[in-house]
Structure 1
Amino acid sequence: MWPIIFPTIPLVDYIKKAYNIHPDAKYIGFFDFGCPVTVIKDQELIKSITVKHFDSFVNHRGFVDPAEEPFFGNNLFSLHDEKWRAMRNLLSPAFTSSKMKGMFKLMSDCAARYADYFVEQSQKKPLEINSKETFTRYTNDVIATCAFGIEVDSMRHPKNDFYIFGRKGTNFDGLRSLKFFMVRSFPRFTKLLNIKIIDDDVEVFFTQIVKDTIAMRDEKGIVRPDMIQLMMETRKNEESGSLNIQEMTAQAFIFFLGGFDTTSTLMCFAAQEVACHPDIQSKLQAEIDEVFEKYNDNPPYEAIQNLAYLDAVLAEALRMYPVAGFLDRVCNREFQLPPALPGKKSVTLKPGDNIWVPVYPMNRDPKIHPNPDVFDPDRFISNGKTPTSAITSLTFGLGPRMCIGNRFALLETKTLFAHILRKCWLKPAKRAIVPIQISNSTIAMTAKGGFWLDIQPRDKYPA
């Protein structure tokens, strides 16, 4: 049981301790606050469960009653069985490569604006940034324009409502971290106390945003290639039925949650490691400079997507600091596991049994990744390219239940890094803890002491 109320170690280190109890076992068992969990350690068995036998492990563990908290309980992550399949099929077209290409210009404009802001401010005086706050402002602006059709500049207008309510709805530090944990682990108890994950004012704000966006598009005949538009199109499909405002808002918010908080966390860890390794930063800038110079400082979607070393840097950041320390599934039909160790008996999982995939421990396992605590992007380079599986493996999930927004998250991250590193140097600020240590103050993956960078303009950057 992770001592979350009085945490002494980070959650991921607690999972890692359990993972290492029987190093050679294909799986182990432990209790998650009274709930028995089978932790699958064998890579082939993980693939079998999440891909080949996906129909036996379709759902995540449910902990929010959609009837009690529809804003959170009706989103794609929380939905089960056929409701999940229907929603997944509905939303998937919003995240194809062609849709990402259509959104790229919006992302690139946001990223260029942030890079210009850093140069402008750092030329006036030494610039130290709180990376988490800064990068969430960027992800906020990207989601606002790509998903909602709303243009905001959260660096120059820091108190805009979209950012304020977004930050409030996705902040799981301190007491909110405890509240999330209580709802997840003791749902009946928190239901009696009417404890909710998302505050009412946040729900009201996002619901109104969705209502206003739909009304404006209907009135003016606006059509955009985004999630809101796809959900609006369901109104034309009489067979499958249309989504109501509540369901639309739930999907829009989980998209916001994933893009706002988890993506900014990836940016923070990656930027901090790049700042701490000048050789890696120089190599990255050389790759970026070549592309920007080739395309007169306006690289297209394909050029950003083909930045192989940047891919490797992000793959390594995702390996060392996976946003989710573990993946979960619930067994929905009997499934026989092979013996955990030679000479032992097989185990049959029953419907309702919980399994975890220990992402963080596996990513730090020296038998899988030699020198696992060393930030080394070159481990992911093969013939000058970074395999796609290296970027998406484990961290974004596996199989049909893989994170639907992983392409979006990676593209907005790559776009920001390309623009910033084209014009700026990143250096660890004096208050930053180097090397990075994982914080034990929250269930979310974050750095002890926070993320702090000094931003310096490069001697050579486009005017």
Structure 2
Amino acid sequence: MEFSTLLLIILTAGIFLYYFVLSKLSHFERLKIPHVRPVPYLGNLAPFIFRRVSLMDNLRDIYNLFPDAKYFGFYEFMRPVYVIRDPDMINTIAIKNFDNFCDHNNFVNEEIEPMASRNLFGLRGDHWREMRKLLSPSFTASKMKMMFELICQCAENFTNFLVIESGNTGKTYEMKDIVSRYANDVIATCAFGISVDSFKHPKNEFFLLGKTLNVGGWQSFIFFMHRNFPKVAKFFGLRMFSTRIDNFFKEVVTSTVKARDEQGIIRPDMIQLMMETRDKNHGPVFDINEMTAQAFTFFLGGFDSVATVMCFAAHEIAVNRDVQNKLRKEVDDVLKETNGKPTYEAINGMKYMDAVVNEVLRLYPLSAFLDRLCVKEFELPPATSDGEPVTVKPGDSIWFPSYAIQRDSKYYSQSEKFDPDRFLNSEMDNSVYIPFGIGPRICIGNRFALMEIKIMLLYLLRRCDVEADVKTKNPMVLNKKTFIMNAEDGFWLKVRTRKSAASFAK
């Protein structure tokens, strides 16, 4: 082939590719929807991709550019996304018209990772509805109460470790490592019925595998590849989770089910509920692979995600001593009322504890956005007063920018300030407070997560003081490498044993 012919082919292909990309990135311009001009191929993610800002602040910066718009356009690489910033419209989409937007974009390829792809978050349509219906009884108040003592024992191990190690002089910890051990033990005992003490045995396989699930730069890359370039991800066989993880959890679930069948063991947990449904003639078929997938989902959500929230909570009570003192007083009062043995009802009745946790989740929702996938055509009203209605079609993506909304000064005065009192004197507005999601797709384990967080804080303040260290970053700086909320360079805090504590708190 002559050089001139080859050059012509390359130029033609380049021009074709240029106009293809241009057509993809002119979607919102054609519809006259407010948006920021995207970077070819990278869309509006360029600041995050080049690690100039966190994903949370990347989306929030654009959110703040259009204060008068009901929604705006955002390009996730070359995929156009409708970002809804109006609370009433979020309710309309997520609740009133849920059937039009009932699915999520999955982040796992079902052919490459058949087990992980069955996670409850990624399931769609009737399969999701059946699984959600089956698993919901695992998280009722009665089930939470049954698991309360198990979680308290994990918290006792947690504080015993800190008291012995830190003493009166104190010790500086990267809190994510310590708190993750507690979270690991809670999930192991409540989901799998396995007693694990990660403080005495930090090299147990549950904990070591859990640490590999921490979403870093590489997993963030795979996450976005599966969402935006699924064929490329499939071609290269990119996995979110290793085969070692698949095999470990399948073996654990298989052996647990076998032991319970043979010995007649019954526990109030997720595995038990799926075992009881195996032989019924209606609903989904629960083979070991399906049971493993849902148990793994529970572990995935409960290990890293809840541990991260608890670390943000520890950080805020460390740098806000007035909050810590006020919360500790409530803790001591509850311990006095319960003779040093806190109950499920007593912790749920702690109003200031509730306010502190709510404020942590307001400032630090784990994700920058909640996503929905359109499954039925739907007409959105005009984005602006001079705009026109827009028809959203099946396959189109919708985002609710939870992080930006929960830090919007329109809804929260002094929105950057950590102020639990804001949740004491007024009712929570669920239209602008969505850390666990909204509508039928709200996180199924939110009640469990809240109980786990509150128990940890009670036991921590019962016996320890938490202080800022020279390594502590205040104000908090968010990690720019991951798509999930995290702290840059870790959560460094000093912990010391309380010098004076009432006898009931020892």
TM-score, normalisation: structure 1? 0.96
Q: Quote the offset at 1:176 in angstroms.
A: 2.7
Q: Aligned residue for 2:309?
A: 266
CA–CA separation in structure 2 for the residues paired with 1:374 and 1:63: 33
CA contact (8 A) 2:170 2:497 kept: no
Alpha carbons of 1:392 and 1:152: their partners in 2 closer, same or farther (altered >3 Å)? farther
Task: Name the SS of the counterpart of 1:70 in structure 2.
Answer: coil
CA contact (8 A) 1:396 1:402 kept: yes
Q: Aligned residue for 1:416?
A: 456
Alpha carbons of 1:77 and 1:234: their partners in 2 closer, same or farther (altered >3 Å)? same
Matched, 1:449 2:486: no
Task: Name the SS of the counterpart of 2:460 in structure 1.
Answer: helix
Matched, 1:61 2:105: yes
Deviates more, 1:420-429 or 1:119-128: 119-128
Q: Aligned residue for 1:175?
A: 218
CA–CA separation in structure 1 for the residues paired with 2:456 and 2:65: 40
Letter in 1 for 2:454: K
Task: Name the SS of the counterpart of 2:167 in structure 1.
Answer: helix
Q: Quote the offset at 1:63 in angstroms.
A: 4.1
Q: Aligned residue for 1:398?
A: 438
Matched, 1:184 2:224: no
Q: Quote the offset at 1:351 in angstroms.
A: 1.3
Q: Aligned residue for 1:318?
A: 361
Letter in 1 for 2:380: L
2:473 maps to which of 433, 449, 452? 433
1:162 maps to which of 175, 181, 206? 206
Q: Aligned residue for 1:22?
A: 66
CA–CA separation in structure 2 for the residues paired with 1:405 and 1:52: 23
Letter in 1 for 2:466: L
CA–CA separation in structure 2 for the residues paired with 1:239 and 1:318: 38
Matched, 1:355 2:394: no
2:140 maps to which of 83, 91, 96? 96
CA contact (8 A) 1:71 1:203 kept: yes
TM-score, normalisation: structure 2? 0.88
Q: Quote the offset at 1:390 in angstroms.
A: 6.2
CA contact (8 A) 1:438 1:446 kept: yes
CA–CA separation in structure 2 for the residues paired with 1:245 and 1:422: 41
Q: Quote the offset at 1:339 in angstroms.
A: 1.4
CA–CA separation in structure 2 for the residues paired with 1:68 and 1:148: 25
1:369 maps to which of 401, 406, 412? 412
Q: Which has the higher contact order (CA 8 A, sep 6+)?
A: 1
Q: Quote the offset at 1:13 in angstroms.
A: 0.9
Q: Aligned residue for 1:31?
A: 75
Alignment deviations for residues 255-298 of structure 1 (CA, whole Å, 9 cap, x no partner): 11111011111101111011001100000000010000111110
Matched, 1:8 2:52: yes
Mind listing any 5+ residue stretches in structure 2 that lack a counterpart? 1-43
Q: Quote the offset at 1:326 in angstroms.
A: 0.3
CA contact (8 A) 1:64 1:187 kept: no
Alignment deviations for residues 73-115 of structure 1 (CA, whole Å, 9 cap, x no partner): 1111010000000000010000111110111010011112211
Q: CA RMSD, aligned part only?
A: 1.6
Q: Percent identity of the aligned residues?
A: 46
2:155 maps to which of 93, 111, 114? 111
1:205 maps to which of 248, 252, 258? 248
CA–CA separation in structure 1 for the residues paired with 2:436 and 2:140: 16
Q: Quote the offset at 1:137 in angstroms.
A: 0.7
Letter in 2 for 1:57: F
Q: Aligned residue for 2:384?
A: 341
CA–CA separation in structure 1 for the residues paired with 2:258 and 2:59: 47
2:297 maps to which of 250, 254, 258? 254
Task: Name the SS of the counterpart of 2:493 in structure 1.
Answer: strand
CA contact (8 A) 1:56 1:335 kept: yes
Q: Aligned residue for 1:381?
A: 424
CA contact (8 A) 1:380 1:390 kept: no
Letter in 2 for 1:30: F
CA contact (8 A) 1:314 1:391 kept: no
2:374 maps to which of 322, 331, 353? 331
Alignment deviations for residues 389-432 of structure 1 (CA, whole Å, 9 cap, x no partner): 66993110000000000001000000010011011110012211
Task: Name the SS of the counterpart of 1:236 in structure 2.
Answer: coil
CA contact (8 A) 2:73 2:83 kept: yes
Alpha carbons of 1:147 and 1:63: their partners in 2 closer, same or farther (altered >3 Å)? closer
Deviates more, 1:273-282 or 1:334-343: 334-343
1:219 maps to which of 242, 262, 279? 262
CA–CA separation in structure 2 for the residues paired with 1:325 and 1:227: 29
Q: Aligned residue for 1:120?
A: 164
Letter in 1 for 2:190: C
Matched, 1:43 2:43: no
Letter in 2 for 1:367: K
CA contact (8 A) 1:330 1:352 kept: yes
Letter in 2 for 1:269: F
CA contact (8 A) 2:102 2:124 kept: yes
CA contact (8 A) 1:10 1:439 kept: yes
